């Protein structure tokens, strides 16, 4: 997420959850992630895109965000 949030300032909100806290573990489970990952939701918390694990790349995340923002 480092650097990505700044690229989309004013277009979307970013948050990071602690996967070791009870609340973070609950969010991971609620979104159907294995351990960690990234989720893009709308303002009603409907999942628009998700990827589980630690293999996300900056370019892959930006591609997913651009698709979501364009409505594809």
The Cα–Cα gap between 60 and 27 comes to 22
The Cα–Cα gap between 64 and 67 comes to 5
All structural domains of the chain with their residue ranges: 4-70
Q: How far does the chain reach from its first CA to its final CA, in angstroms?
A: 22
Mean pLDDT over 42-48 rounds to: 91
Mean pLDDT over 13-42 rounds to: 87
**57 DSSP 8-state letter:** -
Mean pLDDT over 64-69 rounds to: 93
Q: pTM (2 decimals)?
A: 0.78
């Amino acid at each position: 997420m480092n650097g990505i949030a700044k690229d989309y300032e004013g277009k979307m909100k970013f948050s990071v959850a602690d996967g070791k806290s009870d609340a973070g573990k609950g969010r991971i489970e609620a979104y159907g992630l294995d351990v960690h990952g990234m989720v893009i939701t709308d303002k009603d918390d409907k999942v628009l895109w998700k990827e589980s694990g630690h293999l996300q790349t900056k370019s892959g995340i930006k591609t997913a965000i651009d698709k979501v923002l364009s409505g594809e």
